[in-house]
Amino acid sequence: MDRVDGKTLVSLMPFAQAIGVEIESATAEEVRGGFDWTPERCTTGQLVHGGALMALADSLGAVCAYLNLPEGAVTSTIESKTNFFRAVREGRATATSTPLHVGRTTIVIQTDIRDDRGKRVALVTQTQAVIPK
């Protein structure tokens, strides 16, 4: 599949819009995007909330899975695992989602989230169901 417009993809996900997810590029092989640090996305200590980072990964991962679906199918996250490595205290969290497995019934996506210094913030692996319509 060719590159798809990120704003169009985010517009299909109201929650992703609400938390400020931006998609910079999207192909079946890689979806890249992120969001900027804001106080509204933080927990104590002005650190980006882990749930916000997980939502970023889930949103980009879902788009990556969607771009790998067979015609007429839809997807839904059925499993997600997050390892956190460091906090986002300022700047931008940038995520890159890539498929690890594209099968008939599931798609497994890995999302690498990094800070402005290129340091790994979190690594998320999720399994998406392939649901025929």
Q: Which among 45, 126, 54, 38 has a CA at the least distance from the CA of 95?
A: 54
pLDDT at 4: 67
Q: What pLDDT digit, counting tens, does each position of 67-85 carry? A: 999 999 999 999 999 999 9
pLDDT at 67: 95
CA distance 31 to 38: 23
111 and 57 Cβ atoms separated by less than 8 Å: yes
Count of beta carbons in the 10 Å neighbourhood of residue 117: 7
77 and 43 Cβ atoms separated by less than 8 Å: no
**6-132 belongs to which CATH class?**
alpha beta
| Residues facing residue 102 across a β-bridge | 107
Q: Which among 20, 58, 12, 16 has a CA at the least distance from the CA of 41?
A: 20
Residue 75 vs residue 2, higher pLDDT: 75
73 and 93 Cβ atoms separated by less than 8 Å: no
Local confidence band at 8 (pLDDT 50, 70, 90 cut-offs): confident
3 has pLDDT over 70 = no
What residue spans define the domains of the chain? Answer: 6-132
Q: What pLDDT digit, counting tens, does each position of 85-108 carry? A: 999 999 999 999 999 999 999 999
What is the average pLDDT across 30-42?
97
118 has pLDDT over 90 = yes
pTM: 0.93
